[in-house]
Amino acid sequence: MIKKTIVSLLIFMLFSLQGSYAQTAKAAGKQAAIQDKVRALLEKMTPEEKVGQMTQVAIDLIMKDGGNQEIDEEKLRRAIVEKKVGSILNVKWTAYSLDKWHEIITRIQEVATRETPNKIPVLYGIDAIHGANYILEGTVFPHNIGMAASRNDELVEKAAHIAAIQTRASGIRWNFDPVLGVGRQPLWPRFEETFGEDPLLAGNMGSAAVRGYEGDGLGAPTAVASCIKHYLAYSVPNTGKDRTPAYFPEIMVRELLLPPFRQAAEAGSSSVMINSGELNGVPLHASHYWLTEVLRGELGFKGLAVSDWEDVIRLHTRHRVADSPKEAVRMAVMAGIDMSMVPNNYSFYDYLLELLKEGQVPMARIDEAAGRILTLKMELGLFDNPFPEVEAIARFENDSYAATALEAARESLTLLKNRAAVLPLPKDSKILLAGPGANNLGSLHGSWSFTWLGREERLYPESTLTIKEALEKKLNGGKLICRAVPDYHAYENYDALQLQEDARQADYIILCLGEEAYAESPGTITDLSLDPRQLNLAQAAILAGKPVILVLAEGRPRILSPVEPGMDAVLLAGRPGSRGAEAIADVLFGDYNPNGILPFSYPRRTGDFTLYDHKFTETVTEPHTGPNGNHGYDPQWPFGLGLSYTTFEYGDIRLSSTTLRPEGKITATIAVRNTGQRDGKVAVDLYTRDLYASITPPQQRLRAYRKVMVPAGKSVEVSFTITPGMLSFVNSGLKRVTEPGGFEVMIGDKKAGFTYEE
């Protein structure tokens, strides 16, 4: 019997290997055929056509003037026929309906494939970064910062796949997502687009998004090309202002910022967008070292490299490393930029043609860049059918999409405080709902939501609920008092005297504070302190003498220390998306048990951004009295915190061995017991600590995580595999190494020790 089992297993493994080899060989053959076609096409193309492929313009350049949303035929032909533009992006002002997208894409491709010599289709790109946020009927998910709170990679992949399906159905096949910047500067106005302060979260979840976008194969009607961004160090500007300098030593760049891009490149992302700012004095758009030597040479990235908005010319106008616009073009192209997001003129095209004719940019570099662009177009099936596909359109609507958006919103919500178990609330309560976020949709969605800033309330679908509307649906026999209006800055939303008067009739106060929607530079701030008007409203709520539940709809952590002690409960909503209000209501009234945990350290003070993986000496105080030096890590709420309506207890960590060797592994197992009265999901984080190293080690580093459901009164075992690579770090020679020595593994309040021996 045992022999039969072994033989059967060997036969199964043999056939599996054969199948895998056949699939690999088939993919390699398909790629070789595409490269043959690309080479043949390049031989037929003129220099003008090749340079045109490298030129990307905004849709505004082909539309009629003013607020008109119609294509201008003369402008369209100038772009496609005269300037031979290879790519178009964006919307003009607002999102379009699915039918409007079909009209736009169809007309662009008609001109490209009927009126140009080689009938090369246009590659259209869009920022669908948290769902199909530029299609009026599209599904919108939480921003990445909320998805990271879910600790659910599968959910990230699922959401990205839905975004791919709906984006492809519009006729668009290139999506500028995921954002892989590690959110270690909370002032940064794009913090909400990050997966938080840890590189593992960014790498795992970014790779999950890449699989969601591209996993079906780029030619499938359910896939789009992903674009990992913004390479490199965009998310850590020193001042916190958008598109400004980052001063980050290379050892830390390689330790913290580069790994997510390496991981996503290995996952097969088709394109990369470059950081608008500079790193250690060198604009990324001009850095041959980072764009070619590291990205291509070390990471092995094969895809298309596109600039960000207007960033080639800004090497001259802003960064001032190029003494002319023409020199800016030369620097960017020779550094490794394949396509310039120009976006509002044809200067890149004109300058690059001149540089080519003058010999300042060799034809080989042009062929390389144009070849990458043509390769992606062929992989996407644009040469076979550049128009909106019937098969894709048929998949645009599905009830499961909204259900997934609700699931994602629920899992993103993070309960930070629940004094005396004030939550969940009884549904027959008398509730006062107040604050600027109570009746506002933009604050639930954030940037890139039907408009760039996400503030146009009228553009949100009628089915999208505000918190006020969601609570009204949820209350059963209760009463809701709410005077909040949609305008975030309206006086009614900050009337402290009216709040105190209304509170007399209420059992509870739900206060909705945080931030209005913003994007990029319009979201720049110089202080994380909460708006004084909101602080005043919070103080008034506290003085009213009723339990106060704070709901935070915000893209980054605003300082709450002046009012936090007076809050009975705090629910961090982040930017939960189109089903966010319903998810918030579900949690507040106990129809859903919260299970999100923080993907960042929520600061207590504006001048202290100490992160969870700080060095020992960052938190040492004098006189030094503790073994771990954690006195100075004093956030309002620490990385990994998240409460539940039940309680969990961790057993001891069991290690399969206390010695790890170079080719070996250790399994860490822990029992998680639900000691409460209701079922609950729990996110289990595994951390390690290197006790001593050749450079100062961090106090801890997240190495793995898993979300599990634990029924009330039951216990679930969770196992993790620890490998030598997980313990590696970048040493003083800029090499990634795993050094022998002692380590600790930590899960919850438990820890265990082991050694690594070579």
Q: Provide the annotated active-site residues.
A: 308
376: its two tokens: 């992606």
| Burial of residue 526, with CB atoms counted within 10 A of its CB: 0-12 exposed, 13-18 middle, 19 or more buried | exposed
As to burial, measured by CB atoms within 10 angstroms (0-12 exposed, 13-18 middle, 19+ buried), residue 274 is: buried
Tell me, what amino acid is at 549?
I
State the sign of the Cα–Cα–Cα–Cα dihedral 674, 677, 681, 687: negative
Helix (H) / strand (E) element for 708: namely: strand 701-710
Strand stretches in 542-625, DSSP E: 548-553, 569-572
E-strand stretches of 45-110: 55-58, 87-89
Look up residue 552 and give its two tokens. Answer: 């935070």
Strand, helix or coil for residue 621: coil
What gap in Å lies between CA 710 and CA 680, rounded to an integer?
6
Pairing of strands 648-650, 736-737: unpaired
Contact in structure between 702 and 201 (CB atoms under 8 Å) = yes
Helix/strand/coil (H/E/C) assignment for every residue in 100-136: HHHHHHHHHHHHHHHCCCCCCCCEEEECCECECCCEC
How far, in Å, CA of 412 to CA of 150, rounded? Answer: 5
Q: Which residue has the tokens 């894409």?
A: 105
Spatial contact of 199 and 429, defined as CB atoms under 8 Å apart: no
Closest CA to 106 of 395, 385, 396, 397: 385
Residue 653: C-alpha distances to residues 191, 554, 714 (Å): 34, 36, 18
Helix (H), strand (E), coil (C) string for 639-692: CCCCECCCCEEECCCEECCCEECCCCCEEEEEEEEECCCCCEEEEEEEEEEECC
**Are the beta carbons of 386 and 87 closer than 8 angstroms?**
no
Contact call for residues 629 and 700 (beta carbons, < 8 A): no
Report the alpha-carbon distance of residue 293 to residue 302 in Å, rounded. 13
Distance between CA atoms of 380 and 164, rounded to whole angstroms? 13
Give the Cα separation of 573 and 34 in Å (integer).
46
Report how far residue 443's alpha carbon sits from residue 699's, in angstroms, rounded to the nearest whole number. 35
Q: Which two tokens stand for residue 286?
A: 């001009």
